[in-house]
Chain A
Amino acid sequence: MSLEKPVPDAPDEVGVTEDGLDYDALEELVSEHVIDRESHVNAEALVIRPDAVQDTLSALKEEAGFDHCSAVTAQEYEDRYESIYHLKKFDDPTQQLSVVVPANKDEPVSESAESVYRTADWHEREAYDLVGIEYDDHPDLRRILLPETWQGHPMGKDYNQNQPQVVPLREHVNPLAEDHSAGEDSDTMFVNIGPHHPATHGVLHVKTVLDGEQIADIDPDIGYLHRNEEQMCEQSTYRHQIMPYPDRWDYTPGGILNEWAYARAAESMADIEVPEYAQVLRTMSAELTRIAAHMLALGTFGLDVYGDFNAIFMYAVRDREAVQNILEDLTGQRLMFNYFRLGGVSWDVPEPREEFFEKIREFLDGLPEYIEEYHNLITENEIFQLRCIDTGILPPEVAKNYGATGPVLRGSGVDYDLRRDDPYGYYDELDWNVVTEDGCDNYSRVLVRMREVEESAKIIRQCVDLLEDWPEDDREIQANVPRTLRPEADKEVYEAVEGAKGELGIYMRSDGTDKPARFKIRSPCFSNLQTLPEMSEGEYIPDMVASLGSLDIVLGEVDR
């Protein structure tokens, strides 16, 4: 059947048993470093010594097969600091383990995991920046989201939000000035790309050192859209106030997909069952947004490799308008849907139902022709192929090490899609395929997105059929959820869904009130963007721009 994942042969990994993970065996494996054990809602957690992070994680990676460090969450308690490494397996993301590293309150230091998982580099920098934990042995521990000169760590407990700050602007020097060449007899030159630049998809700043046309060194500088989303979510109530924020993480629009990430985490924390009818509605609307998001990726990729506001972009926007019209009928908004509620969705499809379904069907019927058009216009175009085939190479092992997910990972031939591997919603009842391409280049990543649009269309069609035939008395759109939600104190949960750009995870810790004590967003774009240097060092600048486009980042989600 299409939905089954090819089973990897002989998993002689520690802790794997017929019915799930054997956490005792895992604890046994690293027993010398373990000081405690905790139970999180999604998985067990091992508390380890702060100076044995590398040993523990590499044992877990090599011998127990946890090859995916999904996220690093840092937080401050009354008496200590804590970093949590959320580990998973690319082969089976339902096998999860959290590794908790406590750190001293007065002098929060723990060992860096960067040498085990490359992805930890940026995650730890973020933890340092926002919470203030220092990581020993980290190659480059400096601020990542906030300006270098920022005072204090805003997600820490004693941060004073009203203190003055000074932010320097050093980037204004003419990039061609002589002093930008690195030394007397060097031929390299330093160039800033962004933060205001048409090819950076918003406000990304890329510091590049060029050797002629080639890139000698590249350093993405982010944080120009760091809108303190985590703080905002921590100040809002579970039940209603948080839900509008996810729409603004990935606004291409991945809105409904993001809402699902929060909904999934909160529902798993508060043990809410979602009615089946609502699951179908969720699945349908989520896939509609996925189409819109991938269309935008395609359109802006057209901008990147062909130039200003061209035909490809216009075609893509035309199709997005069609999707947005449907979504507007369903949710009432074009971009910031706010459609999910905990335990369901806000309302049923609009009356008259037939008309609405007819509208979706009409769009779906037209889609193959449009996709054909795109192929003629883009993928079969010789210039496009020259720009994209064999440029921006990202080998699967490197991609995994960086925690890349979504179309980026699938474009490197890794078969990993949470919709199938860690099922939620109505996906496992439907017939669709996970798309992979094994070219590992810019071209494959674009192809994956285009083929995923077709798969999404398949899913939507099945959902529409289901909704149409659903018995009228049985259309329950929301479970019965209390007006104020107060999960018991000290519940911790990390759940992820497949967003438009990849694995979008939410970590939440409750403290018995109606607001989360810690809310952490694991954004797929953040990890994906980290692979840019791998793809573009030693390549030409235009290839870097193409790679950046094929990564399809959204700065709102990178910076949060």
Chain B
Amino acid sequence: MSSEQTPQGDGTGGKSTQEARMGEGVDDRFNSKLRDAFGTSPFILTKFDKFMNWVRGSSMFMLQFGIACCSIEMMHTYSVKHDLDRFHAGVPRASPRQADVIIIPGTIVSKFAPRMKRIYDQMPEPKFVIGMGSCTISGGPFQEGYNVIKGAEEVIPIDIHVPGCPPRPEALIYGVAKLQERIAHGETAPVTVKPYELEEFGDLERDELVQHLADQINEDDLVMRYDWTEQP
């Protein structure tokens, strides 16, 4: 449409279409190589899916989500010097309903896992998860503890693991970039079978423990049941 309208009027005579389009006050900054290459017809043909994936990867809204030590390095990644914004991923949202990427920066313990699952469930599809730090891989330094979930993947599916304790901001940025690459290529993480699920208390198998807790928990309360021995 617009490409067919030849600019009319004063001063356009010797100018290229591109120059004429720029008008007053716009400097060379907008003259990217890509734009140059398009010449007079700035259209590209692509698949809609491909385009959408590219958009998704290039504009990621992160959930503002801090758990443990790793979140300190995550905050540094968002801030000056490392500035995750440069990689189209620097808009932390406080509400899971506005976010599409969740970075899990820390140790998940028994009391927090159901809440984390809840937060993950509240995020709109498509959603992506970055596990930050050894704790989200295996429980990290606390793996042998009585209260620590041995990896966030026991609860929600994770797309990218960034190892380290804590990973440096550069490592997290690398992880984010890798995720973007995957999203742009339309790859998704295989959804693993998760040992720990949120379920209604009434649906649990009636064993000794469940009988014992029956007068403390309502039938329709959501619960997470941990069978620690079944963990890796």
Check if A244 is an interface residue, CB within 8 A of chain B. yes
Check if B127 is an interface residue, CB within 8 A of chain A. no
Given contacts A151-B209, A203-B112, contact A196 B146 (CB under 8 A): no
**Cβ-closest chain A residue relative to B226:** A165
B147 close to A169 (CB less than 8 A): no
A168 close to B217 (CB less than 8 A): yes
Check if A372 is an interface residue, CB within 8 A of chain B. no
Chain A residues near B113: list those with CB within 8 A: 167
Given contacts A168-B221, A251-B68, contact A232 B147 (CB under 8 A): no
Chain B residues near A231: list those with CB within 8 A: 145-146
| Stretch from A21-29, A66-74, A222-230, A452-460 that touches the partner | A222-230
Chain B residues near A163: list those with CB within 8 A: 209, 228
Could you tell me the distance between the alpha carbons of A232 and B146 in the complex, rounded to whole angstroms? 10
Chain B residues near A183: list those with CB within 8 A: none
Check if B115 is an interface residue, CB within 8 A of chain A. yes
Check if A435 is an interface residue, CB within 8 A of chain B. no
**Cβ-closest chain A residue relative to B79:** A317
Check if B181 is an interface residue, CB within 8 A of chain A. no
Q: How far is the CB of A436 from chain B (nearest CB, A)?
A: 28
Chain A residues near B204: list those with CB within 8 A: 166
Could you tell me the distance between the alpha carbons of A314 and B209 in the complex, rounded to whole angstroms? 50
Residue in B119, B209, B212 whose Cβ sees the most chain A Cβ within 10 Å: B209
Check if B165 is an interface residue, CB within 8 A of chain A. yes
Partner of B64, one of A154, A170, A198, A244: A198
Could you tell me the distance between the alpha carbons of A335 and B210 in the complex, rounded to whole angstroms? 42
Check if A309 is an interface residue, CB within 8 A of chain B. yes
**Cβ-closest chain B residue relative to A195:** B115
Check if B107 is an interface residue, CB within 8 A of chain A. yes
Chain A residues near B107: list those with CB within 8 A: 225, 227
Residue in A146, A167, A248 whose Cβ sees the most chain B Cβ within 10 Å: A167
Interface residues of B in 75-113 (CB under 8 A from A): 75-76, 78-81, 92, 94, 96, 106-107, 109-113
B198 close to A169 (CB less than 8 A): yes
B226 close to A164 (CB less than 8 A): yes
A224 close to B109 (CB less than 8 A): yes
Could you tell me the distance between the alpha carbons of A251 and B80 in the complex, rounded to whole angstroms? 20
Could you tell me the distance between the alpha carbons of A161 and B69 in the complex, rounded to whole angstroms? 25
Majority SS at the chain B contact face: mixed
A228 close to B217 (CB less than 8 A): no
Contact with A along B46-88 (1 / 0, CB 8 A): 0000000000000000001111110111011011110000000
B144 close to A317 (CB less than 8 A): no
Residue in B71, B72, B96, B201 whose Cβ sees the most chain A Cβ within 10 Å: B72
Chain B residues near A146: list those with CB within 8 A: 110-111, 147
Could you tell me the distance between the alpha carbons of A229 and B217 in the complex, rounded to whole angstroms? 29
B69 close to A171 (CB less than 8 A): no
Partner of B228, one of A162, A167, A169: A162
Check if B227 is an interface residue, CB within 8 A of chain A. yes
Contact with B along A205-232 (1 / 0, CB 8 A): 0000000000000000001111111011
Check if B8 is an interface residue, CB within 8 A of chain A. no
Could you tell me the distance between the alpha carbons of A141 and B144 in the complex, rounded to whole angstroms? 28
B68 close to A149 (CB less than 8 A): no
Could you tell me the distance between the alpha carbons of A168 and B109 in the complex, rounded to whole angstroms? 13
| Interface size class, chain B | 35 or more
Could you tell me the distance between the alpha carbons of A537 and B227 in the complex, rounded to whole angstroms? 40
Partner of A167, one of B64, B118, B226: B226
B165 close to A336 (CB less than 8 A): yes
Chain B residues near A556: list those with CB within 8 A: 68-69
Could you tell me the distance between the alpha carbons of A220 and B142 in the complex, rounded to whole angstroms? 25
Partner of A168, one of B68, B168, B222: B222
Chain A residues near B79: list those with CB within 8 A: 309, 313-314, 317-318
Q: How far is the CB of A406 from chain B (nearest CB, A)?
A: 19
A161 close to B168 (CB less than 8 A): no
Chain B residues near A223: list those with CB within 8 A: 109, 111
Check if A201 is an interface residue, CB within 8 A of chain B. yes
Given contacts A317-B81, A556-B69, contact A226 B217 (CB under 8 A): no
Given contacts A168-B217, A228-B147, contact A318 B81 (CB under 8 A): yes
Given contacts A166-B209, A232-B141, contact A159 B146 (CB under 8 A): yes
B166 close to A335 (CB less than 8 A): yes
A232 close to B145 (CB less than 8 A): yes
Check if B216 is an interface residue, CB within 8 A of chain A. yes
Check if A321 is an interface residue, CB within 8 A of chain B. yes
Binding site for A on B (CB under 8 A): 64-69, 71-73, 75-76, 78-81, 92, 94, 96, 106-107, 109-116, 118-119, 141-142, 144-148, 165-166, 168, 198, 201, 204, 209-210, 212-213, 216-217, 221-229
Which 4 residue pairs spanning A and B have beta carbons closest together? A228-B145, A251-B69, A317-B79, A169-B114
Binding site for B on A (CB under 8 A): 146-151, 154, 159, 161-172, 195-198, 201-203, 223-229, 231-232, 235, 244-245, 247-248, 251-253, 296, 308-309, 313-314, 317-318, 320-321, 334-336, 555-556
Q: List 17 A-B contacts (CB under 8 A).
A: A146-B147, A159-B146, A161-B228, A166-B209, A195-B115, A196-B119, A198-B94, A201-B66, A202-B67, A202-B71, A224-B111, A226-B147, A227-B147, A229-B142, A231-B145, A251-B69, A314-B80
Other 20 A-B pairs with CB < 8 A, given A159-B146, A167-B114, A228-B148: A146-B110, A164-B227, A167-B226, A168-B221, A169-B115, A169-B198, A169-B221, A169-B223, A169-B224, A196-B96, A202-B71, A227-B109, A235-B144, A251-B69, A252-B72, A309-B78, A317-B75, A321-B80, A334-B166, A334-B168
